[in-house]
Structure formats: C-alpha cells, structure tokens
Amino acid sequence: MTHNNRDKQIVAHAALSYVQSGMTLGLGTGSTIHYFLEELKRCVREGLHIQGIPTSKETEKLAEEYGIPLTDFSEVTKIDVSIDGADEFDPDFQLIKGGGGSLVREKIVAEAADKRIVIVDNTKRVDKLGRFPLPVEVVPFGWQKTASYLESFGCAPVLRKVNQQPFVSDNGNYILDCAFGSIEHPKILHEQLKQLVGVVETGLFINMTDIVLMAKNGVVERQIK
C-alpha cells in the first residue's frame, strides 16, 4: 500500500467516530470513500444500524456488495451526516470535487446533510483552488457551444473521455475539465458558470463543508468550520 493510500485508509477510519446507530449517511464517491465503505462494511457486520444514500452508481454497487443498507430521497428527507472526499480544499473549506465524475449527486446529498464531513489526505490541501482542473457537468447537446462560453471565463475546457469516448456521468451528461489556474473568487466563479444554459453543475462546493479530516504521514488532523 502506498503512503497516500495508507493515509486515505487512516482518515476513513477516523470518520467512523461521527457515525452512530440509527443514522442516515450520505456516502460519497472516490478512492478515499472506498476505504470508508470498507470500514462501514465491518461495522455493519458487527451490528451497526445505519442506512446510506450513495452519491454515484459506483458507490451504490460497492455498498450493495458490502451489505451496507441503502435508501433514497423517496424514503428520507434529510441526511444526518455526509462523508465524502475532495480533489482540493482551501483554508475556507471551499472544495473542488468531481474528479471521479459524480459532482451533481454529491452536491444534492451534501445540501441535504446536517453535518458535512470531508475526508482527504494532505495532497488535497491548497492555498487557492484551481490547481486541479475544475469539473463542470454539461448537457451533451451543444456541449461545444457551452465549452466556448466556459472558455470566455479564462480556461481551456477539455471534454473528459474514457476509452476515447466522452465520459458520461450517472445523470447522462458530459464533463468538461476546466483548468482555470488559481481561482481568486470561487463563489463568484461558481455563480457565473451556473448561469450558462448548458451547465448542469460545477465542481465548486461553496460553503458546503463543516469538518475536514486530513491525514498526513499517518496522523489525522481535524479542522472544524
């Protein structure tokens, strides 16, 4: 196991301290969350009663394999705690997410959660967001036009591809990865991009995090908003 993966595993374990029997959990997406689902699998087997709302088909599949009970918004109206990873976080707890392509569902789940916990290793910490290209989910129809509008905001959008085909999100949309470089005003940029007609959602998660758990060299640091 690499050093990084060890940190992901350690921080995933630390997140368990926020989980109690009876809770509805938001289950994020990504490699750090894989470790968290493994932890949860063990706890459920030992008798923990929780239910989760997955933020992607990938997480849904894994949770089902692990025997983690799942639910959805037809059965619950709120989530007690959401636990998710991030591609970047800044000192104000603003995030870039969507590297794994599931930003829309992640945002809906984070919005519905009473407490939002982000679990990361220290490679995700930045002074200013933007080193990681910002994922923007767009409607496939006319994506080229949407890309040209995005370009006018100072980035060079790249259509995300898998096996030389456009990557299709769980919602049937495309993702444009937009390298802005340093983002001076994440909230303003998010609001501006959201106004473009072809944009479904951006990977900027503004004021959507309560606690960051960050592992570095095997030690977990907790930061509270």
Instruction: Give me the least distance between CB of 36 and ligand R5P, in Å please.
Output: 9
Instruction: Give me the least distance between CB of 54 and ligand R5P, in Å please.
Output: 12
Catalytic residue among 106, 191, 201, 221: 106
Q: Is residue 172 annotated as involved in ligand binding?
A: no
Q: By C-beta, is 52 or 98 nearer to ligand R5P?
A: 98
161: burial class by Cβ within 10 Å (0-12, 13-18, 19+)? exposed
Q: By C-beta, is 29 or 148 nearer to ligand R5P?
A: 29
Instruction: Give me the least distance between CB of 97 and ligand R5P, in Å please.
Output: 3
106 catalytic residue (yes or no): yes
Q: Is residue 84 annotated as involved in ligand binding?
A: yes
Q: Is residue 77 annotated as involved in ligand binding?
A: no
Q: Is residue 86 annotated as involved in ligand binding?
A: yes
Instruction: Give me the least distance between CB of 141 and ligand R5P, in Å please.
Output: 23
Q: By C-beta, is 31 or 223 nearer to ligand R5P?
A: 31
Query: Minimal CB distance to ligand R5P: which residue?
Result: 30
Q: By C-beta, is 103 or 214 nearer to ligand R5P?
A: 103
Q: By C-beta, is 9 or 29 nearer to ligand R5P?
A: 29
Q: Are 179 and 156 in contact (CB under 8 A)?
A: yes
Q: Could you list the residues that contact ligand R5P (CB under 6 A)?
A: 28-32, 84-87, 97-103, 106
Q: Is residue 100 annotated as involved in ligand binding?
A: yes
Mapped to the 3 state alphabet, what secondary structure does the chain carry?
CCHHHHHHHHHHHHHHHHCCCCCEEEECCCHHHHHHHHHHHHHHHCCCCCEEEECCHHHHHHHHHHCCCECCCCCCCCEEEEEECCCEECCCCCEECCCCCCHHHHHHHHHCEEEEEEEEEHHHECCCCCCCCEEEEECCCCHHHHHHHHHCCCCCCEECEECCEECCCCCCCEEEEECCCCCCCHHHHHHHHHCCCCEEEECEECCCCCEEEEEECCEEEEEEC
Q: Is residue 98 annotated as involved in ligand binding?
A: yes
Instruction: Give me the least distance between CB of 178 and ligand R5P, in Å please.
Output: 15
Q: Are 101 and 195 in contact (CB under 8 A)?
A: no
Q: Which residues are annotated as a binding site for substrate?
A: 29-32, 84-87, 97-100, 124
Residues tagged active-site:
106
Q: Which residues are annotated as a binding site?
A: 29-32, 84-87, 97-100, 124
